[in-house]
Amino acid sequence: MKIISLTPSFNQEYLCIRDLNLYNSPSCQELATQAQQGRQLKFISLEITEKGLQIQLREDNYLAWLCGEDLDAIALATTAYQKIPLTRSDIEKHIPEIITFTQEARNRTNHYLWGGTLAPNYDCSGLIQAAFATFGIWLPRDSYQQEAFCQKINREELLPGDLIFFGDKRVNHVALYLGNNQYIHSSGKETGNNGIAINLLTDDRDSVSRHY
């Protein structure tokens, strides 16, 4: 166990000065999420356990582990993160751009990356979070958290830009509805496209559509 000496800032908030990988345990072996340059975080503890320090990302309150070797990638934040309240119209005006973001991400060479929130490789909820966050709209990180955050509607009410959630006992996948029965998502290799693709809500001829 090792104590890291960091000068605490207001509320112990720090700024990512480069893109960061963050992990799901103090061993820092399995990716949990990624933080883009410019995001803010605070430490849950300044005590290194194994290889990592537990942090909380400020924009979505996501808990993860920062590898001690990456401490040079953060700097004291000059101001504390402040959430900006958004209205429905604030969000709706960005829907065409959000859809374009996902389509442009699909057009780049990519593969599915568990924990990925940075281009070009995303997991399902990472793609959705990144698409909205690019326009200042912060959704929770994981698909089941995003589902709890959203308002449930009937399938007949679906509009482009709505989120579609998949899963049995608990949500484990999310996609963005494009209209015309189509959705865009990042899915894994075993049951999906191993990357970002467009599928149909109902298409028995397509193994991915049948799975989800």
68 closest CA partner among 79, 53, 80: 53
Task: Single out the catalytic residue among 67, 111, 185, 211.
Answer: 185
Strands 13-16 and 40-43: antiparallel
Q: Is 211 a catalytic residue?
A: no
Helices and strands (H, E) in the chain, number of each type: 5, 15
Q: Is 138 exposed, middle or buried (0-12, 13-18, 19+ CB in 10 A)?
A: middle
Task: Single out the catalytic residue among 28, 67, 173, 211.
Answer: 173
For residues 99 and 91, the answer to whether their CB atoms sit within 8 Å is no
For residues 24 and 68, the answer to whether their CB atoms sit within 8 Å is no
Structure tokens at 111: 């593969």
Whole-angstrom distance, CA of residue 193 vs CA of residue 186: 7
Task: Single out the catalytic residue among 16, 67, 124, 211.
Answer: 124
Whole-angstrom distance, CA of residue 70 vs CA of residue 116: 18
Q: Is 124 a catalytic residue?
A: yes
Active site residues: 124, 173, 185
